[in-house]
Amino acid sequence: MLTANEIAAALKRSLDEGRALAIVSGVELDGQTPARIARLLVEEGGALLGGTLGDQALDAVATRQALALMADERQEIAAVRLSDLLVSLDGLVEATDIREHGEARLVFEIARPPLELIICGGGHVGQAVAKAGRLLDFHVTVIDDRAEFASRERLPDPKIQPIAADFVAALRSLKITPASHVVIVTRGHKHDEICLQEVAGSRARYIGMIGSRRRTTTIREHLRQAGVTAEALRRVHAPIGLDIGAQTPEEIALAILAEIVLVRRGGSGQPKSLEGPMARAR
């Protein structure tokens, strides 16, 4: 059985690393309410950090469900009956191995790290992205090597952290995790390239860079020559944002945040009306 201290330590470690953690509790096993609750800790990515529900096959099924809930990002707690899980897992070895058990009820508690938005560039677009990020409850950091562009005067929201420093030094001072989203919107392509080279191989969930297709292609070739892998470059969203015809800094910020949400939630980016009843009436 896991102790409260062990659960707390695992929770802190996962969140510090920017990974979600699922605490799975067996509140009913083999048709009985246990005297002591068995728990299993599943980290985003599939690592088992401790505990067991008392059965290897049951642990495997619970892990599969925990990963699905963590990826979904819409639920923080869910109670699931084993019989319901077996319907979706029909034919899998794990499901076959635990059909002999009675009904079980599992509670999944999902802890997620705070969403982080790191913006390279404190100009008009960077400021607009920072404000939009706060509306979506991101922890926002704005980096610029010009003190006047990374100041409280321009960024008065106390929940936005300005860093006036060299871009590379500032990025290296931050802990970039799978909860990080990096937006590169500096004042020039040289600074964009420097920032992208620094973060391209990081664990950030999202990396996007502003610029025309021609400019981003040139930067891509420079980074290839500098040794950045093709796999790292494929993760970069450049030109950044969804194509909504954005022109103003605020509209560009909307396009960028919309793409970040799409990456997080797994949307299509297509207008919902394309498949709606009104479309069929045309």
Which parts of the chain fold into alpha helices (H)? 4-16, 56-72, 82-88, 93-98, 124-135, 167-173, 189-199, 213-225, 230-234, 249-265, 277-281
Residues 78 and 28 in one domain: yes
Domain annotation covers residue 89: yes
Residues 120 and 167 in one domain: yes
Residues 96 and 178 in one domain: no
Nearest residue to 270 via CA among 242, 251, 241, 245: 242
Residues 125 and 201 in one domain: yes
CATH number of the domain encompassing residue 253: 3.40.50.720
Residues 107 and 231 in one domain: no
Quote the CA–CA distance of 265 and 189 in Å, as a whole number: 30
pLDDT per residue over 237-274, tens digit each? 999 999 999 999 999 999 999 999 999 888 888 888 87
Residues 42 and 88 in one domain: yes
- What is the model's pLDDT at position 93? 46
Domain annotation covers residue 275: no
Query: What is the DSSP secondary-structure string of 226-240?
Result: TT--HHHHHTEESS-
Of 44 and 169, which is predicted with more confidence? 169
Q: How many domains does the chain have?
A: 2
pLDDT higher than 90, residue 134:
yes
Domain annotation covers residue 170: yes
Domain of 212, in residue numbers? 116-265
Residues 57 and 96 in one domain: yes
Residues 125 and 237 in one domain: yes
Domain annotation covers residue 33: yes
pLDDT per residue over 216-232, tens digit each? 999 999 999 999 999 99
Residues 97 and 209 in one domain: no
Helix and strand totals (H; E) in the chain: 11, 11
- Which one of 59, 78, 111 terminates a domain? 111
Average pLDDT, the chain: 89
